[in-house]
Structure formats: C-alpha cells, structure tokens
Structure 1
C-alpha cells in the first residue's frame, strides 16, 4: 500500500471515529460534581440504594441529548424526596451526562453477560 493510500485510510478512520470518542467519553466535570454533591450516598453505579442506580436511570432515559436535559432538570428540581441541588443547569447537565453514560456502561456489561450465558448454553446443547 503506498503512503498516500495509508494516509487517506488514517484520515478516513479518524473522521469516522473521532465524533464517537467525544460522544461516549464520560464527563470529567460530571464525575467531579457527582463526588462533590455526594450522589453516591444514595445512588450506586449498578445497584439500587435509597435512589435508583445509574444503570437504572440510563435504562429508563437513554443517553441522548434530550435525556441529558431531562435528567438535569430532575437533578435541579426532583419530584421525590431527593434534595434539590442549587447548581447551574450547565453543571446539572454534566452530572446527568456522567450518570447516563456510566449507567449505560453497566447496562452494556449486563447485556454482554446475558449474551455470554446464552452462548454457553447453546454450546452445551450441541
């Protein structure tokens, strides 16, 4: 393969995957705020505590931009006994983005476990 085709291939790969790198990378600011706001006192990444897990929240709302906005509004003005957080909407969105992305990772892990168990059963039956 000549150098121009290699360069073209690298550029194409970069263009195709670069947007996904940023859309699926967790918010560093969100992680810091989750710690600062003590969210993990009532929530866990994968198991229900006083409040729903991040995985449950992600399963319910998804990870879209609208989901981030919806969860951010809930963080600022929660409908239940969760205390409201007096933070700017921009920070609430960072927290929501972090919660949804981390929760989605746990959901994906769970899906993979179920699939692996299914494959194991299929292999045993043959």
Structure 2
C-alpha cells in the first residue's frame, strides 16, 4: 500500500514538472457575493422613535393624528412647509387634521424638530 502511494506521488510530481506555470497571473476562486443594502435610519427618524410622537402618529396609519405619509402627501417638502411644520411641532395646534389638538413640544430643539419634519416629508407613498 505504501509503495502504491509513493508511485502515485512520484508520477504526479513528474507530470506537474512538465506543465507550464505562469507566475504573473494568480487565480483565486471566490464565492458569489450577494449585495445587501442596509439603510440606516435618518437623524429625524431616530429622534421620532425616542419621542412621544409615536403615541399619536404612525408611518402609515392614522392613530390620533395623521400618519406621516398623509402629512407628506399634504405638504410638499419646501422651506415654507418645513418652517410651518416646525412651528406646529414646537407650538402645537388643532383644526388642520380634526378637533384633537397636537400637544406643544417647547423643550424640543428647533434643529431636532427640523430633522424630524424633513424625515416626515421624505415619506412618500
């Protein structure tokens, strides 16, 4: 049995010595990679998730207040609407979406409110 393995090894080494090897090219077999796209939440989305907004609003469904997608449909994303909605978030209000008032958020930073509003207006369905 040992002699058989020795003979096979010698034959393989001898045959491989006659092959031409090009050392300039190296071929590496790699598996096919599938691309996974992970979308990171925006700053506005993170702020909304940590706030009390989710008690009255949802991305796709009306709860107490309108869904974010309804708001995005009603208000095109421009500076006038962004400033108007920042004021609504900070000051509160009622009458636009029904009789239930939106609570004011006076302790919220204006820049944070702006990030939240921009995220909401980016939701299009």
TM exceeding 0.5: yes
Runs of 4+ in structure 1 off by over 6 angstroms are none
Q: 2:93·2:104 contact (CA, 8 Å) conserved in 1?
A: no
Structure 1 gap ranges (5+): 1-24, 108-126
Residue among 87, 90, 109 paired with 2:108: 87
TM-score (structure 1 length as normaliser): 0.57
Aligned-residue CA RMSD (Å): 2.0
59 and 68 in structure 1: CA distance in 2 versus 1, 3 angstrom threshold: same
Q: 2:68·2:120 contact (CA, 8 Å) conserved in 1?
A: yes
Which has the larger Rg?
2
How many residues are matched?
80
1:26 Cα shift?
A: 9.0
1:83 Cα shift?
A: 1.6
Q: Does 1:71 align with 2:85?
A: yes
Provide the C-alpha distance between the structure 2 equivalents of 1:96 and 1:29, rounded to a whole number of angstroms. Answer: 11
Q: 1:77·1:84 contact (CA, 8 Å) conserved in 2?
A: yes
TM-score (structure 2 length as normaliser): 0.57
Judging by fraction of residues, say which structure has more helix: 1
1:79 Cα shift?
A: 0.9
* Structure of greater relative contact order (alpha carbons < 8 Å, 6+ residues apart): 1
1:52 Cα shift?
A: 0.3
